[in-house]
Structure 1
Amino acid sequence: MDLGPGRRAAPPRFVLPDVSEKNRDGKRNARERLAVEREKQKAADKRRRALIVGASVICVLGLAAVIGVVAANSGKDKKSGASGPVVSPSGATGKDSLAIPVGKEGAGSTLTVWEDFRCPACQAFEAAYRPTIRELTDSGKLKVEYHLVTLIDGNMGGSGSRKAANAAACAQDAGKFRDYHDVLYENQPKETDDAFADNAKLIELAGKVDGLDTPAFRACVNDGTHDSWVQKSHAAFQAGGFSGTPTVLLGGKNIYEDQSMTPAKLKQMVEEANKG
């Protein structure tokens, strides 16, 4: 712009941005973002607490349901006679009358056997040692005290161990324990098959023992007459701290755990004890 001779136009003016105002805006925006984040965090914490409370309620309800199932099952046991009076089989001996004896009372050696009729290892022991044990008991050199256990029922589920043991105790009432004991092992189902839970199956097998399948035996099996006695026997097994079945004790030593044990060695040990 021409202002005339000797006069110059004033230089253009540049306005610098207000730095302090920018800082204030930045701080304000940061506070707003922080406030938003805090609200988000509060909402997240609220949801988390709600989930924890909800999970706690579910756990409590689940526990109550489990307790209810246990109580219901206990009721079923009572109805089945499993929690009824303890009725020992005829001729049972030992502490609390929990042993079923086979053999002569004055025998020089006593073999204590803890067995479960569903136990495959028990069946293997019986198959290997039965002829020798029968020979020694028949000759009066050995007495065997059988204790019945329900270990497989607890491990695999079911009630075949208990029901088979009850049936064996019923056979003891009839004076037929040893023969029926052997029949049960000769016809043992697979460990996962709870076939012995069927009373009809147990009664059918009684037909293999002369004179055992009687109305008295059938009633004893169907009523679970010795169920509580079997449970008491199993409790004694647990209290004894034994590791499994079969547990076979001779002179207080578990000979089943002896890797060098054989039927011939057992026979030798019993005969030597009788000489002494």
Structure 2
Amino acid sequence: MSTGNNPSDKKLTGKNPLAAAEAADKKRKIAIQVGVAAVLVALVAAIGIGIAVKKSDSDNEGTASSVAQLPATGGSVTDSGTVLIGNPDAKVKVRVVADLQCPACQQFEAANGEALAKAAADGTASVEYQIISFLDKASSTQYSSRAANASFCVAKADTTKYQGWLQTMFDKQPAEGSAGLSNDELVAIAQGAGYTDPAVATCIKDKPYNDYIKQVTQATLKSGVESTPSVYINGKLEQSDAIFTENGLTSVIADAAK
């Protein structure tokens, strides 16, 4: 029997120190690789979450910004797109739905414009004007929408002159099928009504309310309005001849205030 340092004897009698060291080193490398991989996975996940959160925040900010910048809200313009004149807490609330290209609306204004102005001034009623634009087809220049835009422009500037401006707009109402009044003519009417701030003229020409007017018009028609003018007294549609009778709404408002 051999008694020399035979490698096979080492294999039989115990572990090879070199092999054991190599095996341990290999395990350490694997452990390191696994650890690095885990860190990378976590890092990638963190980056992905960060990007997703940032995108979500950005989307939310964009939505909030678009709402906040909607030019027709705030001040004398209500959330539903009406121009409010007078005390909102008045016992009688009148709502007038009109299109500035509508001949019947012109007749209504001639008959009851002064009655509404007086009721708003003495506190008997608040008056909301819902100016919509469904008659663009009645002109070759979308006059209905341009006039509605001008309505928001002047209302945002000063409601104390609004009813006077409205009366002039109806007095100068263009014929159906015509080109309608030009933007310069709309500016001149506003200036004649006392809206001399250059910002009003810019607003009329730049038409920032176009998209909003479409939304308001669609919402108004979907709510059940079938024609213009539509006049509501405390939420009830007024269907009497009073709306086309000179100062006919004066007695209607007085009765509603009792």
**TM-score, with length taken from structure 2:** 0.66
Q: 1:102 to 1:180 in 2, by over 3 A?
A: same
The whole-number CA distance in structure 1 between the counterparts of 2:76 and 2:122 is 21
Larger Rg: 1
Is 1:111–1:144's contact at 8 Å kept on the other side of the alignment? Answer: yes
Unaligned runs of 5+ in 1: 1-84
Residue pair 1:162, 1:230 contacting (<8 A) in 2 also: yes
- 3-state SS of 1:249 partner: strand
- The reply on whether 1:203 has 2:187 as its aligned counterpart is yes
Quote the residue 1:183 is aligned against: 168
Q: Does the CA-based 8 Å contact 2:136-2:142 persist in structure 1?
A: yes
How far residue 194 of structure 1 moved from its aligned partner, in angstroms, is 2.8
1:88 aligns with 2:72: yes
Write out the 4+ residue segments of structure 1 that deviate beyond 3 Å after TM superposition: 154-158, 259-265
Aligned AA for 2:94?
A: L
In 2, distance between residues paired with 1:265 and 1:170? 30
Aligned pairs (5 A) from 1:235-246: 235-246=218-229
In structure 1, C-alpha distance between the alignment counterparts of 2:242 and 2:87, rounded to whole Å:
28
Question: What is the one-letter code of the residue matched to 1:267?
Answer: T
Partner of 2:147: 164
* Separation of aligned partners in 1, 2:229 and 2:247: 19
The reply on whether 1:146 has 2:150 as its aligned counterpart is no
Aligned residue in 1 for 2:60: none
Could you tell me whether the CA contact under 8 Å between 1:116 and 1:148 is conserved in 2?
yes
Q: Would you say the 8 A contact 1:89–1:170 is kept in 2?
A: no
The gaps in structure 2 that reach 5 residues or longer are 1-68
Give the equivalent residue in structure 1 for 2:19.
Answer: none
What is the Cα deviation at residue 150 of structure 1?
0.9
Whether the 8 Å CA contact 2:112–2:248 is kept in 1: the answer is: no
- In the alignment, the residues of structure 1 paired with residue 80 and residue 204 of structure 2 have an alpha-carbon distance, to the nearest angstrom, of 19
Instruction: Indicate how the Cα distance of structure 1 residues 271 and 121 shifts in structure 2: closer, same or farther if over 3 A, else same.
Output: same
Q: Specify the code of the residue in structure 2 equivalent to 1:254.
A: L
Aligned to 1:106: 89
In the TM superposition, residue 190 of structure 1 has moved relative to its aligned partner by 0.9
Residue aligned with 2:152, SS: helix
Q: 1:93, 1:99 within 8 Å by CA — same for their partners in 2? A: yes
Which of 177, 199, 204 is the aligned partner of 1:221? 204
Q: 1:86 to 1:194 in 2, by over 3 A?
A: farther
1:248 partner amino acid:
V
The structure-2 alpha-carbon separation of the partners of 1:228 and 1:235, relative to structure 1 and needing over 3 Å to count, comes to same
